[in-house]
Amino acid sequence: MDGRTPEDVARRLEALERESRRWKRVGLLVLVGTATALLMGQVRAPADTIEARRVVVKDASGAPRGVLSGTNDGAVLELYDKDGDRRAVLGLAGDGSVVLSLSAKAEKVGAWLSTTSFGQSSLQFADRSGATRIAAGLTAEGSSALFMRDSDGLARAGLGIGIDGRPFRFP
């Protein structure tokens, strides 16, 4: 016979179907294995350390809201409002001095807190023109003072305690 009987055709068809199912399974296993390998390559453990000279934090619209940057001798952190105006700055200099600056919308009105590496500290408040109107400070030797200034920056009144422990006033 020439192998064309209905039984022969049925056997050959059954063998082809088995082979087709086997190749489908092999193809599916290869596809799943490849996808798994690709996905495993994308998953990374969280980093313990992120290193950069500058980090910019942006809001949903892409506007910068914070910048942390390293300098050759210190670091600076700047915070911006929704309009892009710098409102707060924290800076550390190489000599150990630290400054915190808080600004109102006009960027001239604000407060500054600073301390130096040799022990001097001060707190200042400025008006709309940027002139310091109130200043308080402490020297490394231990004297302290509070001064009130006019719009030209001229000290008009002050109180303090000298390094000898005696109080003083100005004028």
Q: State the CATH architecture for 54-170.
A: Alpha-Beta Complex (3.90)
pLDDT at 118: 82
> At residue 94, does pLDDT exceed 70?
yes
pLDDT at 107: 64
Percent of the chain with pLDDT over 70: 95
Per-residue model confidence as pLDDT tens digits over 24-53? 888 888 888 888 777 776 667 777 788 888
For residue 110, count other CB atoms closer than 10 A to its CB.
Answer: 18
Distances (CA, A) of 62 to 52, 54, 71, 86, 101: 20, 16, 24, 16, 25
Picking from 108, 55, 58, 111, the residue whose alpha carbon sits closest to that of residue 84 is 58
Residue 85 CB partners (closer than 8 Å, separation 6+): 103, 105, 107
Tell me the pTM: 0.66
> At residue 123, does pLDDT exceed 90?
yes
pLDDT at 149: 92
pLDDT at 105: 76
